[in-house]
A and B are shown apart, each in its own frame.
Chain A
Amino acid sequence: MLEPSLVEHLESDGTLLVGTVDADGIPEAAYAWALAVLDPGDSAGPPVVRFLVPERATRTRANLATTGRIAATVTDVETLVSAQLKGRVRGVEPSTPADGRACRRRFDAVMANIHEVEGTAIDVLERFRPGPVVAVTMAVEEVYDQTPGPVAGSRLAPTVETP
């Protein structure tokens, strides 16, 4: 189960990295956007989250279709507090107009944070804006603290077996 404080972090205006792997074991990294917790999980089932992956992230999308294994790391731009979810894809579907709005809003908020913390010009950050996206639903099996330092890699939530 994802505790409320963790849900708040996962849905915050931090950066979202997604790691996947192909059938030959070659890993892939990509940025994703607008993670939302659909279900924090309970004894009846694992936590489920949804996020948006750029269509142009072709390797990531291919990996989701083949191996389906995902790592998703959310990092607070200012504090570097990070949490990593590990699990499996439940579905990939076309994004909705609401997804598009959520992606734009989250992108703007994340970039505003980076601008404030790092001083990077907004027009430079604008180059990073994702184009069309697809929606990925993920069943969460494990959660780890990924904050830089000695505790990085420690487990935050127990493993949940997925059906």
Chain B
Amino acid sequence: MWVRNGGLLSAATAALITAVIALGAWFFIAHRSDWRMWSAGASPVLAGAVTMGVMLIAGILLAFALSRAEAAILLGRQHGGDEGSGD
């Protein structure tokens, strides 16, 4: 039931988005020196805008991931309730 009513899809979406943010973190750690060299050479406004943009995109993605995780939990509870009532 949980799988059919979209619980699994919500949980998978949340996990996928979190993985994308974690991948972004890994990218900036692995290419730290390249990123610092680029931001030192680029115009300060561009470096600031890219920094702010990356964090805001990550924030929006995480907000969406959390809402999906919440939906998955709610659907899981509904599913538990249905099972408990014998539906």
Partners in one complex: no
Taking Cβ atoms with an 8 Å cutoff, the residues of B that contact A are: none
